[in-house]
Amino acid sequence: MSEQSDWRELQVALRTASDIAFDQEMPTGEQADVLVDALRRAQAAALALSAGPGATGCRVHPQGAVDPLHGDKEDPLPPGWGKCLLCNDRRRRAATNRRGVR
Ligand SMILES: [Zn+2]
């Protein structure tokens, strides 16, 4: 994720929210759920823009944990992996699933 894509996400989510909020009829049920979801996405994107990358350098999990293996010379992370523990765990799980090992 880049600042550019956070910004786009913010715009798309706010447009969705205002389409619903300024509709002729008051949003109820499913429409209200979509509105809540759009506002959540807008808030997350706005927070990412204001916070900037945290210690992880990850835009999805800026406040997440740093992978303890990052910078480890004995057991280095594969090339292209970042410092974010959450993203690296996801990559590890994906690699495990590809090999068919549990
Ligand atoms: Zn991450």
| Confidence at 74, pLDDT banded by 50, 70, 90 | confident
Which residues face 84 on adjacent strands? 66
Please identify every residue whose CB atom is under 5 Å from ligand 1, which is an ion: 58, 60-61, 84, 86-87
CA of 62 to the centre of ligand 1 (A): 7
CA of 54 to the centre of ligand 1 (A): 10
Task: Quick: pLDDT tens for 24-50.
Answer: 899 999 999 999 999 999 988 887 777
